[in-house]
Amino acid sequence: MQSGTAGGRDRPAGWKVEAVGTDSSDQAELRELVRSILADHAPDERVARLDESETFDEEFYGHLGAAGLIGLGADPATGEDADPRHEIVVLEELGAGHTSMAVCLVVQYMALRLLSHYGDDEQRKRVLVPLAEGSGRCAFALSEEDGGTDIARAMRTKAVQDGSGWVLSGRKTWISGAATSGYAIVLARTSEDAGSAIDGITMFLVPLDAAGVSVRVLDTAGIHGLDTCEVTFDDVRLDGSTVLGRVGAGFRQVIGTLNGERLNAAAVALGIARGALRSAVEYASQRQAFGRSIGGFQALQHALVDGAVRVESARGLLIRAADAAGAGEAQSDTFSAMAKIAAADAATDITDAGMRVMGGAGYSREYPMQRYFRDARLYTFAPLTNEMLRNFVGERWLGLPRSY
Ligand SMILES: Cc1cc2nc3c(=O)[nH]c(=O)nc-3n(C[C@H](O)[C@H](O)[C@H](O)COP(=O)(O)OP(=O)(O)OC[C@H]3O[C@@H](n4cnc5c(N)ncnc54)[C@H](O)[C@@H]3O)c2cc1C
């Protein structure tokens, strides 16, 4: 491995991309806090090793919890949401430095938000408070084999009332962190004749060690530092206290929190884009060909400049979307859809350019570029595909006929 080129932590001379002038003083403080935790506890070699061994970084998660960065997702005492600008600062930094951990936090922030909005006092005390302190985790289980985009129509997982409790059966797939979490928020159909596909679905707070629950880790192309799982429910008996929110209204309640998840996914994608760009620029500054650094060749320089433009554009849109969400603007979900498209496209384009700029080294596992390249793919389709988000923007922003 060439010294100084592995992780992109040593800034190339003159590098300006991380000079985030739009942060308020508390956002800047938060950014510095995450950067210092990354510098102290997640050197590139460690992140690479955990990715290779497909191991979740429990120790690093503990450091985030101790610093209060998990509880940022929701205030258990007041039930108030975090400032979206705070969440995106944390997730951009983690996306660049410890991507699998950033994906884990996107799920935790979503779970915390659902628990703080819809949990009763007992659920909040038993699950939300420890989660917010960084003790234990909660997965979010919506997708199934027959459909992610059209999940409400495709949902086969069901829960049938049995006295005061429920019997849950079915299978969820692609569930992040289920093998390393204590709970999962599971969406299951509880009524077949609710009128529309999105009604008649209920959220359950399921302990993942309950009898009848089995978890199988799936083999995926990226995000190797966080398990992706299939979770099967074989007539799992749940008591009434596991219902989260209102019976039959679970899907609508989840839709209400998806805006935040979209913003957070965009922030991670932005972090990946920035981290990959830095690695590529650093490499291009050092690698020599024809007696000069390859960064001096215009063809490569322009590709890297396009990357910088994509990063700054995506960040600008993300901040616009986060501010719209914070202010409760009517169009905030359209802005967050645009921000997610922009950041995910930036991450895929920049990691592709990075692979080309680095030649054979981009393909080597000794450098982080191939990891960024693999990890970036996730947010082209999760939590919602960019195609589906384009459908929303076409309809809601351009006034075009509904295309789905
Ligand atoms: C690593 C990983 C982690 C994940 N984590 C979670 C998790 O924690 N919890 C969870 O619930 N899910 C999770 N998912 C699932 C993820 O949210 C889905 O993969 C995603 O919603 C897309 O669904 P799908 O894969 O079934 O694709 P499909 O819905 O089958 O879509 C396939 C293609 O068809 C296109 N398409 C479908 N409908 C339309 C339309 N109307 N117009 C245009 N194009 C359309 C899509 O855009 C896509 O290109 C994860 C997935 C992965 C791989």
Q: Which H helix or E strand runs over 1? A: none
- Pair 31, 95 in one domain: yes
Neighbours of 99 (CB within 10 A): 30
Q: Is the pLDDT of residue 1 over 60?
A: no
Ligand 1 atom index nearest CA of 223: 1
- Pair 66, 117 in one domain: yes
Nearest CA to ligand 1 atom 24: 148
How far does the centroid of ligand 1 lie from the alpha carbon of residue 379, in Å? 10
How far does the centroid of ligand 1 lie from the alpha carbon of residue 403, in Å? 17
Q: Which residues approach ligand 1 with their CB closer than 6 A?
A: 107, 140-143, 147-149, 174-176, 220, 223, 228, 378, 381-385, 387-388, 391, 404
- Residue 12: pLDDT band (50, 70, 90) is confident
CB 284 within 8 A of CB 295: yes
How far does the centroid of ligand 1 lie from the alpha carbon of residue 384, in Å? 6
Q: Could you give the C-alpha distances from 219 to 98, 351, 359, 374, in angstroms and in order?
A: 20, 22, 27, 13
Query: What mean pLDDT do residues 132-155 have?
Result: 95
- Pair 257, 391 in one domain: yes
CA 88 – CA 120 distance, rounded (Å): 28
- What does the pLDDT read at residue 253? 96
Give the three-state DSSP class for 309: helix
- Residue 94: pLDDT band (50, 70, 90) is very high
Please indicate, yes or no, if residue 19 is contained in any of the structural domains.
no
CA 278 – CA 222 distance, rounded (Å): 20
Query: How far out from the chain centre does Cα 20 lie?
Result: 21
Q: Could you give the C-alpha distances from 230 to 17, 53, 148, 174, 175, in angstroms and in order?
A: 39, 20, 13, 6, 6
* Per-residue pLDDT tens digits for 280-299: 999 999 999 999 999 999 99
Closest residue by Cα to residue 265 from 47, 152, 114, 105 = 105
- Residue 11: pLDDT band (50, 70, 90) is low
- Pair 276, 390 in one domain: yes
User: Which of 69-73, 146-150, 374-378, 389-393 shows the lowest mean pLDDT across its residues?
Assistant: 69-73
- Residue 19: pLDDT band (50, 70, 90) is low
Q: Is the pLDDT of residue 371 over 80?
A: yes
Q: Give the CA-trace dihedral at 319, 322, 323, 329, to 10 degrees.
A: 140
- Residue ranges making up the domain that contains 170: 139-251
CA 149 – CA 382 distance, rounded (Å): 9
CA 153 – CA 181 distance, rounded (Å): 27
Query: What mean pLDDT do residues 234-259 have?
Result: 95
- Pair 231, 366 in one domain: no
CA 155 – CA 68 distance, rounded (Å): 36
Please indicate, yes or no, if residue 85 is contained in any of the structural domains.
yes
- Residue 3: pLDDT band (50, 70, 90) is very low
CA 34 – CA 90 distance, rounded (Å): 6
Tokens for 364?
């080597």
User: Among residues 208, 228, 251, which one ends one of the domains?
Assistant: 251
Please indicate, yes or no, if residue 10 is contained in any of the structural domains.
no
User: Which of 31-35, 147-151, 341-345 shows the lowest mean pLDDT across its residues?
Assistant: 147-151
Bond from prior residue into 368 cis (ω within 30 degrees of 0)? no
CATH number at residue 44: 1.10.540.10
How far does the centroid of ligand 1 lie from the alpha carbon of residue 347, in Å? 18
Query: What mean pLDDT do residues 197-205 have?
Result: 96
Q: Sign of dihedral through CA atoms 82, 83, 84, 88?
A: negative
DSSP states of 157-214 as a string? -EEEEETTEEEEEEEEEEEETGGG-SEEEEEEE--S-SSSTTSSEEEEEEETTSTTEE
Q: Sign of dihedral through CA atoms 175, 179, 184, 189?
A: positive
How far does the centroid of ligand 1 lie from the alpha carbon of residue 353, in Å? 25
Tokens for 153?
């129509």
Q: Is the pLDDT of residue 303 over 50?
A: yes
User: Among residues 232, 251, 270, which one ends one of the domains?
Assistant: 251
Tokens for 103?
């994906």
- What does the pLDDT read at residue 7? 39
Please indicate, yes or no, if residue 217 is contained in any of the structural domains.
yes
Per the structure, how many domains does the chain have? 3
- What does the pLDDT read at residue 15? 79
Q: Is the pLDDT of residue 194 over 90?
A: no
CB 57 within 8 A of CB 112: no
* Per-residue pLDDT tens digits for 161-171: 999 999 999 99
- Pair 45, 120 in one domain: yes
User: Among residues 107, 137, 167, which one ends one of the domains?
Assistant: 137
CATH number at residue 247: 2.40.110.10
Tokens for 83?
């400032």
Closest residue by Cα to residue 18 from 281, 278, 340 = 278
